[in-house]
Structure 1
Amino acid sequence: MTGDYPYWETVPTRWKDNDVYGHVNNVVHYSLMDTVINAWMIRTAGFDPLRSPSIALCVESHCQYKAEVSFPDEIRVGLRVGKLGRSSVRWEIGMVRSDGTLIAEGHFVHVFVGRDDRRPREIVDPVRAEMQKLVMS
């Protein structure tokens, strides 16, 4: 599993992540995907979501749940690029419980658009170059 994703980040669950059924609620999985992707873009690719002339909008997301996870587990989140277009990127995510159990797999599609006009914009070269490192062949 770890070889399937070139980037990994470990995220602790929080007390509030558990729902009435005693496991992490499904909305948390989507939040983790969004957080890990955007943290990677900011820290690794140098993307500045507050000042960049273009922004990344989520136009599609999906998550397939495989196993439960509960607080106080840690979740290892793997990230790769499934498809890199001119103005869009399909992120693929794997989530693994601390014991190695696959929790969920999902994807997130971002389209880069102009901050003001919301028209598609090409992904700028420094960001694209870093994304290319996450493309699995």
Structure 2
Amino acid sequence: MHKSDFRFSHRLRVRWAEADLQGIVFNGHYLTYADVGITEYFRELGQAYSAETGVKGADFFAVRTLLEYRSPARFDEQLDVHVRIAKLGNSSMQFLIGIYRDDELLVNGEIVYVHADQSSRQPTRIPEAFRAAVREFERCTPEG
């Protein structure tokens, strides 16, 4: 996975509260960094999280997360969280994540979301407006 595989990234700085006494980021914070990146990805698409689904009563729910740790980040470093949608199915989508310090890949992974009814959590089709925004932004067809 290389930075050039992504069209979107969001920069953040490691805060004091995210590091242990040795100044190394606690592993659970990388999932928060990925979540921030995905939120900013939605914003870049023009699909703010509160309105991204286009269907009242439905939402995206995370159903799978996988992170692979390669090298630690440290307090006060600037990190770039790279995000892209690799697969866009009928009711699910797979995000690929790459967290970099300069050109060094620190963490990579994937997060799968399912579009579902908020009450029953039964899968529903991802709205066409969202699908079109993804296709246009990624300049490809991540269907599959």
Structure 2 length-normalised TM: 0.84
Say yes or no: does 1:120 pair with 2:119.
Answer: no
What does residue 63 of structure 1 align with?
A: 67
Shift of 1:52: 3.8
Aligned to 1:35, the other structure's residue is in SS state helix
Q: Deviations over 1:99-123 (max 9, x none)?
A: 3211110100000101222111111
Q: 1:67 to 1:48 in 2, by over 3 A?
A: closer
User: What's the secondary structure of 1:9's corresponding residue?
Assistant: strand
- Rate the CA distance shift 1:68–1:55 in 2: closer, same or farther, 3 A: same
Q: Deviations over 1:78-111 (max 9, x none)?
A: 11112110110000010101x3211110100000
Residue 105 (str. 1) matches residue 108 (str. 2): yes
Letter in 2 for 1:79: V
- Deviation >4 Å, runs of 4+: none
Q: Deviation of residue 28 (structure 1)?
A: 0.7
Q: Secondary structure at the match of 2:120?
A: coil
Q: CA RMSD in A?
A: 2.1
Secondary structure of the residue aligned to 1:86 is coil
- Percent pairwise identity: 24
Report what 1:22 is aligned to: 23
For residues 53-96 of structure 1, give each alpha carbon's deviation from its aligned partner in whole angstroms, at most 9, with x where no partner exists.
21111000000011111010011011111211011000001010
Total equivalences in the alignment: 136
The verdict on how the C-alpha distance between 1:48 and 1:28 changes in structure 2, with shifts beyond 3 A counting, is closer
Match of 1:77 among 63, 78, 81: 81
- Are the aligned partners of 1:47 and 1:127 in contact in 2 as well (CA < 8 Å)? no
Q: In the aligned structure 1, how far is the partner of 2:4 from the partner of 2:56?
A: 32
**Using the alignment, how far apart are the partners of 2:21 and 2:33 within structure 1?**
20
Residue 50 of structure 2 aligns to a residue in which SS?
coil
Unaligned runs of 5+ in 2: none
